Copies of this chain bind each other. A is one copy, B any other.
């Protein structure tokens, strides 16, 4: 606990941690203050995410970047999963599917782009493990097309009218995706773990690294807090969005996806600023692949239990285009194994253009 206080004194943003209990109090006292709850919960997730990032890095420092990356990706997607589960219970499938597609796009364009920009402002050129990045973008590309191509084909051939077909297809797809995810864990943690290790084993600063048990306890506690605040966030987001003039597709694709990934972003950005871009690339791409191979199919399966009706995996055409373009972009920009600030700027610009298009041209979701 002493270390935690020391950390908070040195990181001003962590004073915002006080917002987390405040959200809970406001939620009990004024459950209908949706816009306030929405803004408070977004603000509360930021310091929680920062603290989570510190704890994760402390663990990563003890265990190597591979396990650290995996930990980050898993915990970050836990948030994503919890938010989606809340929406699933309420049958808001548009929000869920938009947040799935949005998470893949945010991780590749926004998280990777901002990492490149933040790192590039400090370092002239940042090199990272090219072989590892190429393998990870291959995996992400394959995972993304596995998730998205059935929608593209159904859309292109205009045969999606029959809902039974789409439901059957989604179920089969979910089972194949989860199977692949399991084999992927076996691959990255067992047979080929060396590929996922970072190129630069930047000697950790030596001082100020938390002991493993403190780090793990903080990790667990903060994860629970993130889950609680996320719960309130998703309850308030829908009505707050309407007040602020946003559509469900925009909210899911941009707002939920960004807030859900806040914890991973803090870690990825911190890695970029410490010239450990391998960590950033690993978090961003690994997390996006995990959304496609794990979170999406799990939500389909769970929808049979807790949803009003089974959820399918049919995405609207604009989402298909954005996911394909975003994963191709991830491949193209990481292909060289080096990053500069301007590539980050262009990726953020493409993300901004996607957001603007989605805000102005909401998809027809019949």
Contacts and interface: CB of A to CB of B under 8 A. Distances in A.
Nearest to A333: B138
B142 A353 contact: no
Contacts of A192: 124-125, 340, 342
A361 B322 contact: no
B322 A149 contact: yes
B343 A139 contact: yes
Using C-beta atoms within 8 Å of the partner chain, give the interface range for chain A: 35 or more
A362 B154 CA distance: 9
B180 A345 contact: yes
Contacts of A195: 340
Contacts of A310: none
B364 A142 contact: no
A342 B157 contact: no
A350 B156 contact: no
A180 B318 contact: no
A153 interface: yes
Interface stretch (A17-25, A167-175, A217-225): A167-175
B342 A183 contact: yes
Given A139-B343, A184-B342, A349-B176, A361 B149 contact: no
B143 A343 contact: no
A4 to B, nearest CB: 39
Instruction: Count chain B CB atoms within 10 A of each CB in A146, A195, A332, A354 and give the residue with the most.
Output: A332
Interface in A322-337: 322, 325, 328-329, 331-333, 335-336
B141 A332 contact: yes
Given A158-B364, A192-B342, A361-B159, A325 B139 contact: no
A150 interface: yes
Contacts of A138: 332-333, 335-336, 343, 346
17 contacts: A139-B346, A143-B346, A145-B329, A149-B354, A152-B321, A153-B321, A156-B318, A156-B320, A157-B316, A176-B356, A177-B349, A180-B349, A183-B342, A187-B340, A187-B341, A191-B340, A192-B342
Interface of A: 124-125, 131, 134-135, 137-139, 141-143, 145-146, 149-150, 152-160, 165, 168-169, 172-173, 176-177, 179-180, 183-184, 187, 191-192, 195, 316-318, 320-322, 325, 328-329, 331-333, 335-336, 338, 340-343, 345-347, 349-350, 352-354, 356-358, 360-364
